[in-house]
Amino acid sequence: MQKTVIHLVSNNKFVNEVFLPALGQKDQEGWSKEKSDAGIYWWKDQDRQNLYLHGYHPAYLRRRQDFEAQLDTTAELAARHLKVST
C-alpha cells in the first residue's frame, strides 16, 4: 500500500503487541500527539507515504458524541499529509 490512510480503532494492547511490531516500532514514541484532543495519535511512513492513525472505536465515540470530531480530524490529517481533497 502507498498513500493510504490506515486508521486503527483498537485497544492499546493490540496496537502495542501486534501492530507496532509489524511496523518495526516498539511504542508510539515517534507518533504525533498534536491531535490527541480529538483522540488521535498519528505517524506518517515517509517511505510508502502511508498515514497511520490510532483512535477510539466509533461505537465509543458515538456514546461520547465525539464521532464527528474524530472523523473531521481524520479527513483533515489525510488532506494535509496525503494531498487529497476532502
For residue range 31-63, list pLDDT tens digits in order. 999 998 888 999 999 889 999 999 988 888 889
- What 34-40 contacts at long range (C-beta under 8 Å, 24+ apart), as own/partner pairs, is 35/73, 35/77, 38/66, 38/69, 38/70, 38/72, 38/73, 39/66, 39/70, 40/70, 40/73, 40/74, 40/77
Domain interval for residue 72: 5-82
Q: What's the grid cell of residue 60?
A: 465509543
Is residue 72 within 8 Å of residue 49, measured between CB atoms?
no
Prediction pTM value:
0.83
d(CA 36, CA 57): 14
**Number of domains within the chain:** 1
- For range 66-86, the mean pLDDT: 84
